[in-house]
Homo-oligomer: A and B are copies of this chain.
Amino acid sequence: MKPGKIRAFLLIIGDNITMSIKLKELSHEELVNISELTNEARGYILQMTTLSASGHPGGSMSTIDFLMTLYNLINVDPKNPNMENRDRVVMSHGHVSPAAYTTLAAKGFFPIEDAVSQFRLAGSIYEGHVEPDVPGIEWASGNLGQGLSAGVGFALANKQKGINSNVFVLMGDGEQQKGQIAEARRFAVKYDLNNITAFIDYNQLQINGDITGVMPQNIMDNYISDGWDVISIDGHNFEDIHNAIHDAVDNENPTVIIAHTTMGKGVSFMENKEKFHGSTLNEEQLVLALEELDVENRFDEMKKLRSEHNEQNNCEHSTVRKALNLDLGSPIIYQDKTDCRSAWGNAIADIAKLNKKAPLAVFDCDLMGSVKTDGFFAELPENFYQAGIMEHHTAVMAGAMSAAGVQSYFADFGVFGVDETFNQHRLSDINNTNLKVITTHVGLDVGEDGKTHQCIDYLGVMKNIFGFHTIVPADPNQTDRIIRYISGKYGNFLVPMGRSKLDAIKDSAGEIFFGENYTFEFGKADKLRSGNDGAILAMGTLVTRALEVASKLAEEGINISVWNFSCPTALDECALAEAAKTGNVFTYEDHNVQTGLGNSIADKMMELGLACKFTKFGVEGYAMSGASDQVFAKCKLDTDSIIKRIKAKL
């Protein structure tokens, strides 16, 4: 993109690319400059929101003084927005994007005219909630309560890499009501993250009014109770802000700066009016406001620019990130009954052993023994993070850490790693992360723990997230290959596994199918058995049962082919066409029958116009608590039931 023009501002604030925050003091000249910049910024905040007739001016005006003072101090380079040792700023209250864009423009990241004229314009990068496509923006937000977790992820990445720079997380005050913030606070204290500073724009107004009326909270006591230090300041006094940032950065404890501010600060008729949280000024009000601020009125000029906006002039969206160059080692071949969980644990331990210096991280939520992260811990204890029973925070932290270049594996039970954290993964995916979600205990296989713990929707839920690829291993050998495969790719993957031990799947000649000559190909289905009377398409632990079904049917002279569809989000169209040719397609899964493999396959076959008899076998309601085989039988998904159900259709 073009270098930023600065005509709108007296001069670029700050120029301290190499300087440590600790040595910095606020000169009188800077003070004057910041106060003039924030005043101009308020004018632009109002012009861009009125121009797009939407957005959030009130909070932008209460937070701009802190933001501008912060950027005067921190180590960022508009010419090299991605330099690794930069200080990072997370805007958790992403709706104050007008404040963020004016500050970044003042710092020289892009021309202020672009941000103002293209604000919330379809196709432009200057979206309503901040996004990393905008140079200088680290993390897309907007769903409140997640920003501190993202900041913790960045701070953790710096610690692990030995980078001595700072992370600042800006939040609203109403947002403090979200429980996830308490989880992030605890983690930061456990791991001594003295490189993170939080800021709360304490204007005491949220959408429905005074925060103490909407939901009383003791913000200061909450932070102190979780071991954070608190600095309380006047959020519109530049010297207070400057000194508070110094003190927070010097402090050995994670520190929050609670800044007492005024919503709509700077325009008399906007101040302390909650309606201006999300309402913009009309053009008459804008004129009055700009006069009161005594700043140039560029509204018509910006309006013209907006009408002339040509998408070709947009700066390209954030560059595609690259996979790590890891030694993925050699496959482990399992001859004996093994659970896929252990195969994952052994594979990641092997990768850790071969890549001791690589930026890898594994996150665990108090399930180390069950999700088999202990092998990795033994190899790379410094890269293993025990996050306790705090799944929401852990999901976001792992995503953010991966965006900062540390390939992250979040291991958990399916109901916690998928169902509980879906929205956290959705935001990570929007942030183009490199997150590997490894879930165990999925399907009916978890048996005795009952319906609250049976994750039978992992595919149905996660296929809503555009960038997440789901790969379901059929046995320990395929698990080993899949873990090595995803470890060599950049991007978001879900690998769901059951609990119980499985035999190594064999081909019809009795040889191990996923053996030495097997290479995992994303999107390719595996034909395990041939047969022209029908086809069973299965995934996960049910592939083994499908093979039993086929062999028993073969004894009765019924020959059905068996396919392993390990990539349900990238269906193998050739395999589907071949299966359809048998005239009788059966899908078989211990997943919700409405939303799983059968559903995806039906959809694809309809799209491809593959007509044939089609029957889905899956879970039709909440299952019970009991031994896995008993539960399968009661759900009519055991092999005997399936044989009966198939014969009824042939």
List residues of A whose CB falls within 8 A of some B CB.
52, 54-55, 94, 120-124, 127-129, 131, 140-145, 174-175, 177-183, 186-187, 189-190, 206-208, 214-218, 221-222, 224-227, 364, 366-370, 386-390, 392-393, 415-416, 419-420, 422-423, 426-427, 430, 448-453, 457, 460-461, 463-466, 592, 594-595, 598-600, 602-603, 605-607, 609, 611, 613-616, 621-622, 624-627, 630-631, 633-634
What are 16 A-B interface contacts by the 8 Å CB criterion?
A: A123-B626, A127-B450, A127-B625, A175-B389, A178-B389, A179-B180, A179-B183, A179-B393, A207-B366, A215-B386, A419-B423, A457-B465, A460-B460, A595-B595, A599-B599, A607-B614
Q: Chain B contacts of A457 at CB under 8 A?
A: 426, 464-465
Task: Establish whether residues A179 and B177, one from each chain, have CB atoms under 8 Å apart when the complex forms.
Answer: no
Which listed residue (B450, B614, B622) contacts A466, Cβ 8 A? B622
Contact present for A448 and B55 (CB under 8 Å): yes
Residue of B129, B206, B614 near A449 (CB, 8 A) is: B129
Contact between chains at B129 and A452 (CB < 8 Å): yes
For the complex formed by this chain, how many copies does it contain in all? 2
Report the bound CA distance from A465 to B622 in whole Å: 9
- A625/B427 in contact, CB under 8 A: no
A366 pairs with B625, CB closer than 8 A: no
- Check A606 against B602 for contact (C-beta < 8 Å): yes
A304 to B609 alpha-carbon distance, docked (Å): 56
The 9 closest A-B pairs by CB, nearest first: A122-B626, A179-B179, A215-B388, A127-B625, A142-B452, A122-B630, A221-B225, A457-B464, A602-B606
CA distance A403 to B393 in the complex (A): 29
A143 to B430, CA, bound (A): 27
Residues of B within 8 A of A143 (CB): 415-416, 420, 452-453
B460 to A463, Cβ gap below 8 A? yes
Q: A225-B225, A366-B174, A630-B122 are in contact. Are A461 and B141 (CB under 8 A)?
A: no
What's the nearest-Cβ distance from chain B to residue A181, in Å? Answer: 7
Contacts of A367 in B (CB 8 A): 207-208
Contacts of A631 in B (CB 8 A): 122
Q: B453 and A464: CB pair below 8 A?
A: no
Whether B225 and A218, one on each chain, are in contact in the complex, defined by CB atoms closer than 8 angstroms, is yes
A369: B residues at CB distance < 8 A = 207-208
Q: Report the nearest B residue to A624, measured CB to CB.
A: B122
| B residues near A451, Cβ cutoff 8 Å | 127, 131, 140, 430
A601 (CB) vs chain B CBs: closest residue: B606
**A599 CA to B594 CA, complexed, in Å:** 10
Query: Which residues does chain B contribute within 8 Å of A626, judged by CB atoms?
Result: 120-124
- Is A390 a contact partner of B177 (Cβ separation < 8 A)? yes
Query: Which residues of chain B are near A390, meaning CB under 8 Å?
Result: 177-179, 215
Across the interface, which residues of B come within 8 angstroms of A627, CB to CB?
120, 122
Q: Are B186 and A216 in contact (CB under 8 A)?
A: yes
Which residues of B lie under 8 Å from residue A614 when comparing CB positions?
A: 606-607, 609
Contact partner of A190 among B127, B187, B216, B463, CB < 8 A? B216
Given the known A-B contacts A122-B631, A128-B448, A452-B142, are A463 and B178 also in contact in the complex, defined by CB atoms under 8 Å?
Answer: no
CA distance A363 to B339 in the complex (A): 44
What separation, in Å, do the CA atoms of A427 and B452 have in the docked complex? 7
Which residues of chain B are within 8 angstroms of A224 by Cβ–Cβ distance? 221, 225
* List of B residues within 8 angstroms of A423 by Cβ: 415, 419-420, 422
A182: which of B55, B179, B189, B598 is its contact (CB, 8 Å)?
B179
A633 to B187, CA, bound (A): 44
A393 neighbours in B (Cβ, 8 Å)? 179
Contact across chains for B187 and A389 when beta carbons are under 8 A apart: no
The residue of chain B having its C-beta at the shortest distance from the C-beta of A392 within the complex is B179
In angstroms, Cα B131 to Cα A624, docked, is 11
Taking CB atoms, residues of chain B closer than 8 Å to A603 are 594, 598-599, 602-603, 606
Q: How far is the CA of A555 from the CA of B564 in the complex (A)?
A: 49
In the complex, residue of chain B having the shortest beta-carbon distance to the beta carbon of A631: B122
Residues of the B chain whose Cβ atoms lie less than 8 Å from the Cβ of A218: 225-227
Most B Cβ at <10 Å: residue of A388, A452, A466, A624: A452
User: In the complex, what distance in Å separates the CA atom of A206 from the CA atom of B389?
Assistant: 9
Interchain CB contact under 8 A, B122 and A625: yes
Chain B residues lying within 8 Å of A386, measured Cβ to Cβ, are: 208, 214-215
Residues of B within 8 A of A624 (CB): 122-124, 127
Contact A388 B177 (CB under 8 A): yes
- Report if A450-B142 is in contact (Cβ < 8 Å); known contacts: A183-B177, A218-B226, A369-B207: yes
How distant is A38 from chain B, measured CB to nearest CB, in Å? 25
Closest-by-CB residue of B relative to A55 is B448
Give A423 to B609 CA distance when docked, in angstroms.
35
- Check B174–A388 contact: CB distance below 8 A: yes
Q: How far is the CA of A613 from the CA of B452 in the complex (A)?
A: 40
With a cutoff of 8 Å between Cβ atoms, the chain B residues found around residue A466 in the complex are 592, 621-622
Nearest CB in chain B: distance from A193 CB, A: 13
Chain B residue contacts of A387, Cβ below 8 A: 215
Report the Cα distance A122→B624, complex, angstroms.
Answer: 6
